[in-house]
Structure 1
Amino acid sequence: MSIGNRESYAAATDELTAYASSASAADVAALGDELLAVARLLTGEPRLRRALSDSSTPAAQRAELAGGLLTGKVSAPTLKVVTALVSARWSTPSEFLTAVERTGVNALLVSASAAGELSEVEDELFRFSKVVTAEKALAAALGDTSVPATRRAELVRELLGGKAKPVTVRLVEVALSGFGGRGFVASLDRLIELAADRQDRDLAYVTVARPLAEADEAALAAKLSELYGRGVSLKVTVDPAIVGGISVRVGSDLYDGTILRRLTEARKAFAK
């Protein structure tokens, strides 16, 4: 997102923050659902998307168009956030759509935070991502864009209903439609990152051959937090194939101290 687009997005974020400061977690979640419904509308209506983000049209006129379309169909707080988005300047209609969708997701994350559930939501998203990655048939079924997202959402609700927080289920449904234009699994990964960032934490993807002891996890998290200057959330995967050692990825940084890597390097050296 460019600097100009980030400034435009900030106006809607301010509206969301102001509303969330006095609203219940359920009301903020409802606002998020309505914003995501608006994003779905814009996805299917490219002409409308262009009209609402056309900077050659006065902002007041674009806001009036949005109001005419949405008044009576969404709540007043949702319309206020949409108006802030519509009134801003966007480099492309797709950036505008991304901002609407992102604001809806942020509202769901804010609602989870207000309910004291955001850390659980982050962990549930990660665990589901691991299940999907491990089960190729499930990944194919959920990522099949030839099947309507509403039908794939039914499968998600069967899998997670009563087992995960409602916000977790809702975010997985967002991923089905390709959050920010990504594939399903990549969308899940991005949503996990946003959940961690909302808690002012980085994500550390850790791969080990055997489960880490609780004390070792705590020590690793503390060391990484010291290194990166903010909290770090560990996402641990056990993979016996690495034989031993540990691999840690934080953003684009990879620390690979696995025995598998050393064996691979040794084989390459002998092959020369």
Structure 2
Amino acid sequence: MSLTNDKKEIINQQLTNANSLFRRRFNTLSSVITNRLWLNAHTNYECDVLLTFPANIDDYAVIWFLEQLLLLAPDIRISIKYHFTTGVYGFYVTFTYERLLKGADDLQLEKPIKQEFGGGYKIFFFDELEFYEGVQDEDKFFTSQERQLIVRHLLFSIKIIQKQVISGIEFKIDQSLIQRSLEKHLIRQVIPLHNKQTLNHLRDTWVWPHTFFKRQPIEDIRQYFGVKIALYFCWLSFYTKALCFPAFYGIIIWLNTGRSQDCRKYFTR
């Protein structure tokens, strides 16, 4: 597998940073952080997925796993965090924008077409970038859900190219690195990460009580949580409004009938 000089420099830099992190682990405990801070720690990239390892895993296995990710997927971007109080490593993962675009092509995601080309939605093709609306905007072209879906697909598509054994686990050629590692508990879990900025926006425009009488931001919900979740809340809003009139009529009947619950006069001619 041939790598450009720039990619080699990125890989070497990340490996150097990783080794430095492992050394600092034993030299100082001044960087101890809580569970919450670990999950919200500052990272070097806008990451989409978190890989966590079993507590107190052998450092050599973590370094080997990092090397495999960087060598087998040169476009990957990883930021490493270590939680001292639990002994757990976390890899915050994303990919370059170009690789995300190619991943969208693999998954055949539907994206909006520019009005000058007819508008509407069309399956995304990497070779036809000029047709898609907003493709130049790396931050907004993909929703958070789409980015995480693509990153997960790319991670599970990483294949072993050489038979190896690490920590008693055999990795065969063409096996998925992530899937095999999950099955053998070399890594603990793959977690999608929330976008704090978007969550804060949804909280301010949707969750807080002062937004009770405002329209739900259905489009924002769709972009972040997906169509199914947005459709659920859209239906819930419609259903609640539809019940207002019968509920109001029922209250009037209840107030007029009192304890007798005799409603016959309201339904007889």
TM-score, with structure 1 as normaliser: 0.32
Q: Which has the higher helix share?
A: 1
Q: TM-score of the superposition, structure 2-length normalised? A: 0.33
